[in-house]
Amino acid sequence: MSITDERAKQAFPELEPMIHDLYSKPLPVKLYRRARREYRKVKHLQKLLNRRPDIIIRRIDKGEGFYFGNKSIMEYNTEEYMNKTEAYQEVTTGRCPLSDILRSTEAVLDYLLKKKAISKAQRDKLLSNVNTLELAHLYTLPKMHKPDISIRPIISGLHAPVTLVFFFFISSSSAHLFTSGSGYYIHK
């Protein structure tokens, strides 16, 4: 709507006092008390979290809300899950394996380029931006709908070196993944 429009010139002076009345009217007592009570609750939680570093806050799985719980319990559940699945490894040496993963990814892309499976432009497009690279990491969400508050693992690998290669393979492949009794196989 243009400022030079005649309808706008008539509507704005009429709207201005209506908006002013809405914002200058005091809150009803009931609403004011509720807002004050909720503000106090938030402040109390903030103080509690500052005093207690052993408390963790996580979004819950399959729902809206937050989980306030003991940090050591969540760490124990995560470690137990990692040991049970043997699919994840914690970096404990202080040496980040990101450079090794990047070099391996580059070696695979160079091999595909040499075999003429991809073009030079595709290779350059599939190489990750070094400034945005990050190691894929595991974080967990508590399942509040389960009686023992188990965890749901989430892998954050959006900026991992192999992510672009993976999406390229999935989008360019006409292969379908099937499950057999013993494992997975690709059917063309």
* pLDDT value, residue 173: 63
Token couple for 63: 């729902």
Round to whole Å and give the CA distance between 41 and 61. Answer: 24
* pLDDT value, residue 186: 43
Token couple for 156: 């954050």
* pLDDT value, residue 33: 96
Round to whole Å and give the CA distance between 26 and 32. Answer: 9
* pLDDT value, residue 134: 86
Cβ atoms 109, 99 nearer than 8 A? no
* pLDDT value, residue 1: 55
Round to whole Å and give the CA distance between 108 and 22. Answer: 64
* pLDDT value, residue 42: 93
Cβ atoms 87, 159 nearer than 8 A? no
Q: Which residues of the chain have pLDDT under 70?
A: 1-3, 173-188
Give the three-state DSSP class for 184.
Answer: strand
